[in-house]
């Protein structure tokens, strides 16, 4: 009976006010201010001047040569960084799905007691500090690290395989960071799935893989999509994995923004503009998601 | 719930309490440049509680101070050219005559320096050089050439770390090309841009803080590094050799400066005096493995420093060069080269 | 039933699950093992010792880690406490406040901190604090943490509240209980486990945070993640592995606690 309870309706505004105020004042307002900053002028040696300019977005989109006087050409460098971030995030999402779906399915189909144990095992890493997990991965895959030493000792490789400072390492780091995010929503969806549907199909002589593809996956699709969103969005703006596991050639959006605020660049307007563009990307993904959700409800 | 409110309130109180403690000193320093023991000694002698944040390049120091951190630190440790820039930007406070009791301990040759004539804002911290180191297990050929970084032999390609410092990396690249610093000649600047853009393919990483670790762990086989930091890599067991390239190398002096709007100015002066004591200056040198600019450190120094290959250039090595402060027009092009490089 | 006919069974899924767990745990276990290595070098294995555990408590850097741990803990407790109170009020307002205009906007507002990428929140907060002249320090970290903890506290609380039928409160109000009495003596006891879960989730999220903290922390203020990151930038040292192992055990302890609290909650909830 989904009737709406209104026992506390008269107090509603008072109950809601703290969250409205805190999020409004300390998040919505700052994001709007960031938008303003992205249109300000960078001072020569760092800092900002309150003069409106499109310089930050211009730097993002156009290359005016070394001396700033060449005719503008499309700037590929930053687009490449964004493109790399998107492909890295998409790759992480894909691999998380490949491993995460069977895991979630396997757990959801265990007996209740076993289910609890499996689920517990998958959740523990999610509670472990992300920084520590990334550092552990860095330790594991170093040139002379345990992974390379182990493989060499087993005779599988002759010389250490270089993983650290490569795109592969970043990919591995992202995959490892967000894998539990993929498992949990799919698990929840499979758990609610009514296996009578599969049995009915089986009675009609449908092969198992067809049942999986045509019946189960479509039914648990909202869980899969939710898992993908939960992996893709944080991967897109990730900072720790590219910073600790990647090198010079694996710059992603997160590092690009960080560099503008904490590194040598000291270019706040450009950092604000890059953050704005990242936010826009994420909002597009979330809007598409919301659309697909509301369509599937109808 | 009541318990939770109480514990929350207690935690808030504690935070507020610790923030307003008297007798503090807030240092903004290079990473791994001062031993914890010497900070503890300062606290033991004066009762002043020390907090420290670190940065990894002169440019990061400048950017962060300009971005609003000025006013929250008492002292920082910029390199020579950065002292001049910060002075011009009005970010340094003046040390009055007679304020520093130990100023007479400064070595004469470091007293009247071009970047701070008469030492009105700064005292010497350490000086040293910047070039690069090569793992001798990997490459046994001639290393006294900047080709190692910018045009490396086959075995070193893809296994090189360069400092994430625009000034030092671009000045070393200029030396490789034999062009002057702060040039405004468009052809020279274009050549510099082409050089680093091309060499980037040989570089595995841009990192200052892990410059030592990547050499020790073997993650890279060659890397730009400061001489003292490099010596520590050798002392940690890596078979690495520091090069004094024939094309030139960078010399620098880092200096403790009194920052404008220092929240604990008097404590900052005490700290500077403390660092000018020969025993303390020597302790910093023994830790960081550079060279002090303070008189009378000799008896306190680790004897190995006298003969270390990192501190003693070969007889035929050229003199190193200090980094120059460029004017706005030239600096903007260098900034642009760096931005394009890091993209 | 013969195995081949088990409609739920897919060959290879078990192997993939084991692979998944292996990937999740291998790095953590390796670090745990190496934290007992006596050697100061992370590459060579010498012998078993607790040397690096002693080092984090008594070594040169021990003071730094202690201060950082204390900062992390006080900030996480304070931020989670405030966020839980705000989230509880919001959950009651949203789920027991009837239909109202702006309900979906309110929900979007509450979940905004999870939707905005962390680095964007970090940048925006830093710019905002510097523009209004709010001195960066411990307090700036706390404020930022409260904001992004709210949705994490809200989710378990609202989920639990949705599962509680409104008839109890309505009955209480029919018996002339004030709204406060209704909340305190009728709703709170059943909602309790949800509030605790929300608090724990907010607590761990605050404890975990690196990016936002690193942007808004003031001079000389470190939390455990920023201190560890600072140390790791120069290379992984054995004492960091020991510290990581301790934090790992702490996380396992917390997740076990939250599991048992959730379990107890289910029992008390199904009683009436």
Q: How far apart are CA A45 and CA B89, in angstroms?
A: 9
A100 lies in a domain?
yes
Range with the largest mean pLDDT of B72-81, B329-338, C249-258: B72-81
A18 lies in a domain?
no
* Residues on chain A touching B217 (C-beta within 8 angstroms): 142-144
Residue C195 neighbours by CB under 8 Å, 6+ apart: B1, C84, C88, C157, C188
Averaged pLDDT, B211-229: 92
Instruction: Say if residue B7's pLDDT is above 70.
Output: no
Q: Which 203-232 residues of chain B touch chain A by CB within 8 A?
A: 203-207, 217-219
A6 lies in a domain?
no
Please answer whether residues B259 and B27 qualify as being in contact, where contact means their C-beta atoms are separated by less than 8 angstroms. no
Instruction: Say if residue B13's pLDDT is above 70.
Output: no
pLDDT band at A83 (very low <50, low <70, confident <90, very high): very high
Beta strand B203-206 pairing with B75-76: unpaired
* Residues on chain C touching A139 (C-beta within 8 angstroms): 27, 30-31, 34, 42, 236, 241
For an interface test with B, which of A45, A166, A256, A265 has the most B Cβ atoms less than 10 Å from its Cβ?
A45
A9 lies in a domain?
no
Residue among B106, B244, B78 nearest B167 (CA): B78
pLDDT of res. C266? 60
Determine the CATH number of domain B2-126+252-305.
Answer: 3.40.190.10
How far away is chain B from the Cα of C174, in angstroms, using its nearest Cα?
A: 26
A82 lies in a domain?
no
Candidate from A43, A248, A263 with C-beta closest to B200: A248
Please answer whether residues C236 and A138 qualify as being in contact, where contact means their C-beta atoms are separated by less than 8 angstroms. yes
Per-residue pLDDT tens over the stretch B277-328? 999 999 999 999 999 999 999 999 999 998 999 999 999 999 999 999 999 8
Please answer whether residues B221 and B159 qualify as being in contact, where contact means their C-beta atoms are separated by less than 8 angstroms. yes
C178 contacts chain A (CB < 8 A): no
Per-residue pLDDT tens over the stretch B251-274? 999 999 999 999 999 999 999 999
Candidate from C28, C127, C224 with C-beta closest to A272: C127
| Cα–chain center distance at B251 | 11
**Same-domain status, A251 and A270:** no
- What is the pLDDT tens value at each position of chain C, 272 positions in all? 444 467 788 888 999 999 999 989 999 999 999 899 888 777 777 788 888 999 889 888 888 899 999 999 999 999 999 999 999 999 999 988 888 888 889 999 999 998 899 999 999 999 999 899 888 889 999 999 999 999 999 988 998 888 888 888 888 888 888 888 888 888 888 888 889 989 998 999 999 999 999 999 988 899 999 999 988 888 888 889 999 999 888 888 888 887 777 676 665 544 33
Candidate from A45, A77, A81 with C-beta closest to B66: A45
Q: Domain tally for chain A?
A: 2
**Same-domain status, A239 and A104:** yes
* Structural domain for A37, as ranges: 31-74+261-298
Tokens of B193: 């841009």
**Same-domain status, A143 and A279:** no
C139 contacts chain A (CB < 8 A): no
Beta strand A48-49 pairing with A41-42: antiparallel
**Same-domain status, A128 and A250:** yes
Q: Which 132-191 residues of chain A touch chain C by CB within 8 A?
A: 132-133, 135-140, 144-146, 175-176, 179-180, 183
Q: Mean pLDDT in chain B?
A: 90
pLDDT of res. C6? 78
**Same-domain status, A131 and A170:** yes
Q: State the CB neighbour count (10 A cutoff) for residue B261.
A: 12
**Of how many residues is chain B composed?**
343
Level-2 CATH architecture, domain B128-251+312-342:
3-Layer(aba) Sandwich (3.40)
Residue among C212, C195, C198, C200 nearest C251 (CA): C200
Q: Do B210 and C233 touch (CB under 8 A)?
A: yes
Per-residue pLDDT tens over the stretch B119-147? 999 999 999 999 999 999 999 999 999 99
A114 lies in a domain?
yes
pLDDT of res. C185? 86
pLDDT of res. B22? 59
Compute the CA torsion angle B250, B256, B259, B262 (nearest 10 deg): 150
* Residues on chain B touching C81 (C-beta within 8 angstroms): 4-5, 7-8, 11
Residue A89 neighbours by CB under 8 Å, 6+ apart: A174, A231, A232, A233, A235, A236, A238
Q: How far apart are CA A241 and CA A138, in angstroms?
A: 9
pLDDT of res. C48? 86
**Same-domain status, A221 and A271:** no
Per-residue pLDDT tens over the stretch B146-184? 999 999 999 999 899 999 999 999 999 999 999 999 999
Candidate from C8, C113, C166 with C-beta closest to A5: C166
Candidate from C31, C225, C254 with C-beta closest to A131: C225
* Residues on chain A touching B338 (C-beta within 8 angstroms): 264
Q: Which residue of A has its CA nearest to C147?
A: A23
pLDDT of res. A292? 81
| DSSP alpha helix (H) spans, B184-277 | 186-199, 211-217, 227-235, 265-275
Q: Which residue of B has its CA nearest to A259?
A: B60
* Residues on chain B touching A162 (C-beta within 8 angstroms): 158
Helix (H) / strand (E) containing B126: strand B122-135
**Same-domain status, A108 and A238:** yes
Looking at this predicted complex, what is its ipTM? Answer: 0.90
Helix (H) / strand (E) containing B255: strand B250-258
Per-residue pLDDT tens over the stretch A16-72? 999 999 999 999 999 999 999 999 999 888 788 899 999 999 989 998 888 888 888
pLDDT band at B21 (very low <50, low <70, confident <90, very high): very low
Domain extents for chain B?
2-126+252-305, 128-251+312-342
Q: How far apart are CA C241 and CA C62, in angstroms?
A: 14
pLDDT of res. C142? 97
Helix (H) / strand (E) containing C268: helix C238-270
**Same-domain status, A202 and A227:** yes
DSSP state for residue B327 in the 8-state scheme: P
**Same-domain status, A203 and A66:** no
Q: How far apart are CA B253 and CA B79, in angstroms?
A: 6
* Residues on chain C touching B239 (C-beta within 8 angstroms): none
Q: How far apart are CA B96 and CA B74, in angstroms?
A: 16
B37 contacts chain C (CB < 8 A): yes
pLDDT of res. C38? 86
Q: Which residue of C has its CA nearest to A197?
A: C7
Candidate from B63, B85, B328 with C-beta closest to A266: B63
The set of chains that have 3 or more CB pairs under 8 A with B is: A, C
A80 lies in a domain?
no
Helix (H) / strand (E) containing B134: strand B122-135
Helix (H) / strand (E) containing B337: helix B328-342
Q: What percent of chain A has pLDDT over 90?
A: 43
pLDDT of res. B281? 96
Q: How far apart are CA C103 and CA B235, in angstroms?
A: 65
**Same-domain status, A164 and A181:** yes
Residue with tokens 């309706």, as numbered in its chain: A9
Instruction: Say if residue B226's pLDDT is above 90.
Output: yes
**Same-domain status, A227 and A102:** yes
Q: How far apart are CA B211 and CA B203, in angstroms?
A: 13
Judge if B2-126+252-305 and B128-251+312-342 fold alike in CATH terms: yes
Q: Long-range contacts: C256-259, Cβ < 8 Å, 24+?
A: C257/C200, C258/C196, C258/C197, C258/C200, C258/C201, C259/A120
Question: Residue B18 class from Cβ within 10 Å (0-12 exposed, 13-18 middle, 19+ buried)?
Answer: middle
Q: Which residue of C has its CA nearest to A256?
A: C119
Phi, psi (rounded to 5 degrees) for C33: -65, -50
Q: How many CB pairs under 8 A join A and C?
A: 280
A230 contacts chain C (CB < 8 A): no
How far away is chain A from the Cα of C47, in angstroms, using its nearest Cα?
A: 16
pLDDT band at B194 (very low <50, low <70, confident <90, very high): very high
* pLDDT: which is higher, B6 or A223: A223
A214 lies in a domain?
yes
Please answer whether residues A26 and C125 qualify as being in contact, where contact means their C-beta atoms are separated by less than 8 angstroms. yes
**Same-domain status, A94 and A241:** yes
């Amino acid at each position: 009976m989904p009737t709406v309870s209104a026992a506390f309706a008269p107090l509603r505004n008072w109950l809601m006010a703290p969250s409205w105020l805190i999020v409004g004042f300390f998040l919505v307002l700052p994001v709007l201010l960031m938008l303003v900053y992205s249109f300000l002028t960078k001072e020569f040696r760092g800092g900002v001047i309150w003069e409106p300019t499109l310089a930050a977005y211009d730097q993002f989109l156009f290359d005016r040569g070394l001396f700033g006087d060449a005719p503008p050409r499309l700037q590929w460098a930053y687009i490449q960084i964004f493109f790399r971030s998107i492909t890295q995030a998409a790759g992480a999402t894909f691999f998380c799905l490949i491993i995460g779906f069977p895991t979630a399915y396997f757990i959801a189909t265990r007996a209740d007691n076993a289910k609890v144990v499996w689920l517990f095992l998958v959740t523990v890493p999610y509670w472990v500090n992300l920084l520590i997990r990334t550092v552990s991965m860095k330790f594991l895959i170093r040139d002379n690290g345990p992974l390379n030493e182990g493989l060499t000792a087993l005779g599988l490789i002759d010389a250490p395989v270089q993983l650290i400072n490569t795109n592969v390492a970043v990919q591995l780091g992202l995959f490892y960071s967000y894998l539990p995010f993929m498992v949990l929503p799919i698990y929840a969806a499979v758990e609610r799935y009514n296996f009578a549907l599969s049995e009915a199909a089986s009675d009609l002589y449908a092969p198992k893989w067809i049942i999986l593809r045509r019946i189960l996956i479509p039914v648990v699709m909202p869980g899969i999509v939710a898992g993908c969103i939960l992996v893709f969005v944080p991967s897109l703006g990730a900072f720790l994995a590219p910073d600790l596991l990647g090198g010079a050639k694996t710059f992603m959006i997160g590092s690009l923004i960080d560099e503008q605020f904490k590194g040598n660049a000291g270019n706040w307007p450009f950092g604000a503009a890059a953050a704005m563009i990242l936010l826009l990307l994420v909002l597009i993904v979330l809007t598409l998601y919301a659309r697909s959700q509301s369509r599937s409800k109808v | 719930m009541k318990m939770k409110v109480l514990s929350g309130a207690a935690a808030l109180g504690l935070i507020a309490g610790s923030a307003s403690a008297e007798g503090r000193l807030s240092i903004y320093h290079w990473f791994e440049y001062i031993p914890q023991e010497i900070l503890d000694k300062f606290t033991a002698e004066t009762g002043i509680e020390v907090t420290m944040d670190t940065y990894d390049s002169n440019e990061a120091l400048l950017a962060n101070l300009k971005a609003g951190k000025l006013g929250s630190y008492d002292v920082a440790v910029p390199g020579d050219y950065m002292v001049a820039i910060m002075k011009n930007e009005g970010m340094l406070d003046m040390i009055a005559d007679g304020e520093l009791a130990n100023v007479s301990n400064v070595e004469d040759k470091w007293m009247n320096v071009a970047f701070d004539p008469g030492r009105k804002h700064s005292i010497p911290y350490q000086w040293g050089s910047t070039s690069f180191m090569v793992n001798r297990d990997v490459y046994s050929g001639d290393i006294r050439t900047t080709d190692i970084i910018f045009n490396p032999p086959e075995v070193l390609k893809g296994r090189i770390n360069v400092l994430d410092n625009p000034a030092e990396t671009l000045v070393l690249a200029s030396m490789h090309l034999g062009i002057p610093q702060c040039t405004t000649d468009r052809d020279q600047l274009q050549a510099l841009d082409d050089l680093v853009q091309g060499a980037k393919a040989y570089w595995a990483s841009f990192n200052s803080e892990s410059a030592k670790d990547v050499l020790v762990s073997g993650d890279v086989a060659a890397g730009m590094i400061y001489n003292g930091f490099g010596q520590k890599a050798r002392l940690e067991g890596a078979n690495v050799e520091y090069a004094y390239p024939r094309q030139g190398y960078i010399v620098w002096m880092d200096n403790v400066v009194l920052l404008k709007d220092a929240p604990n100015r008097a404590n900052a002066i005490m700290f500077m005096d403390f660092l000018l004591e020969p025993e303390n200056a020597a302790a910093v040198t023994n830790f960081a493995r550079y060279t002090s600019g303070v008189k009378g450190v000799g008896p306190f120094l680790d004897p190995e420093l006298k003969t270390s290959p990192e501190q003693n250039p070969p007889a035929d090595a050229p003199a190193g060069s200090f980094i120059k402060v460029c004017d706005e027009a030239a600096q903007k092009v260098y900034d642009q080269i760096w931005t394009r490089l890091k993209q | 039933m013969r195995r081949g006919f088990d409609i739920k069974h897919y060959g290879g899924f078990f192997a993939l699950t084991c692979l998944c767990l292996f990937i999740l745990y291998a790095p953590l276990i390796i670090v745990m093992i190496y934290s007992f290595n006596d050697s100061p070098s992370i590459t060579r294995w010498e012998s078993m010792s607790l040397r690096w555990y002693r080092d984090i408590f008594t070594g040169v850097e021990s003071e730094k880690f202690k201060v950082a741990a204390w900062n992390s803990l006080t900030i996480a407790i304070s931020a989670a406490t405030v966020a839980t109170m705000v989230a509880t009020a919001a959950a009651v307002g949203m789920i027991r406040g009837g239909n109202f205009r702006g309900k979906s906007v309110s929900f979007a507002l509450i979940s905004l901190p999870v939707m905005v990428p962390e680095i964007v929140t970090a940048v925006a907060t830093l710019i905002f604090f510097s523009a209004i002249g709010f001195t960066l320090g411990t307090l700036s970290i706390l404020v930022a943490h409260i904001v992004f903890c709210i949705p994490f506290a809200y989710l378990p609380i609202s989920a639990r509240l949705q599962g509680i039928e409104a008839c109890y409160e309505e009955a209480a109000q029919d018996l002339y209980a004030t709204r406060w009495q209704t909340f305190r003596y009728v709703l709170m006891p059943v909602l309790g486990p949800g509030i605790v879960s929300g608090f724990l989730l907010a607590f761990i999220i605050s404890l975990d945070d690196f990016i936002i903290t690193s942007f808004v922390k003031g001079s000389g203020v470190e939390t455990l993640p920023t201190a560890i990151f600072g140390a790791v930038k120069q290379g992984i040292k054995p004492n960091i592995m020991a510290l990581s192992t301790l934090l790992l055990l702490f996380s396992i302890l917390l997740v076990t606690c939250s599991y048992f609290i959730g379990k107890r909650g289910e029992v008390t909830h199904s009683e009436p």
